[in-house]
Amino acid sequence: MPDELLDRLRRFHDDAFPQYRSTFRHLVDDGQHPTTLFIGCSDSRLVPYLLTGAGPGELFLVRNVGAFVPPYDGSKGYHGTAAAIEFAVLNLQVTRIIVCGHSHCGGIRALYGEVPAAARNLAQWLDLGREAALPVAEPGPEVLRRTEQRAVVLQLERLMDYPMVRERVERRELALHGWHYVIEDGEVHVFDVHHGRFVAASDAEHAGTGPYAAYADADPP
């Protein structure tokens, strides 16, 4: 029986890798210096490199259910997402953090339904998005869309509880970006803090900045 994954690995080595050999050699010799931390949902339909047109070494990626950010205080236990945020900001000194949710998100839909008893980790993880949920029993498409976008803004706000993030945002060394990817349209809607809403990238004036950006951009008192 053919091993499809093995075939793909061989095609990468033989066909794709030679095009990037010098790039990877440079990244090995000089180390990685990504400018962007991309926190995205684990959904297979969300492909960060396609959305951003980024190449090797440009994005530091974190994926989880819902693109959630755990609290800095560690109250949710050990977590790789929190560690990745700290590493990206303190060690890699990224200049952007993107939180990217998307349409038809199963994690957001699960906020309105029952979680299987065996999925205890998932049930606790979903608590990180509860504040974004709206008070309805049976959410329709518009409610789900609004919840997905509200969840993105909630994570941006939670990022500001990380001292190293807040310090760099206030010093204008770090920008926060909230994105909502509409899968069926191929359109990313970016959060515009000045107008308090998401705007299609095709109509937006910038790539989106998160809450507190207005404060970070203001003249110091």
Scanning 40-195, the segments in alpha helix (DSSP H) are: 48-52, 80-86, 106-109, 120-126, 141-159, 163-170
Contact assessment for residue 208 and residue 197, using Cβ atoms and an 8 Å cutoff: no
- Burial (CB count within 10 angstroms: exposed 0-12, middle 13-18, buried 19+), residue 112: middle
* Residue tagged 């180390």 (tokens): 31
Confidence at 209, pLDDT banded by 50, 70, 90: low
What domains are defined for the chain? 35-44+55-217 (3.40.1050.10)
Average confidence (pLDDT) over 117-137: 93
Render pLDDT for 17-63 as a digit per residue (tens, 0 to 9): 999 999 999 999 999 999 999 999 999 999 999 999 999 999 999 99
More confident residue, 209 or 101: 101
What pLDDT was estimated at residue 94?
97
Is the pLDDT reported for residue 220 higher than 70? no
More confident residue, 193 or 211: 193
Is the pLDDT reported for residue 218 higher than 60? no
Is the pLDDT reported for residue 92 higher than 90? yes
What pLDDT was estimated at residue 212?
47
Confidence at 2, pLDDT banded by 50, 70, 90: confident
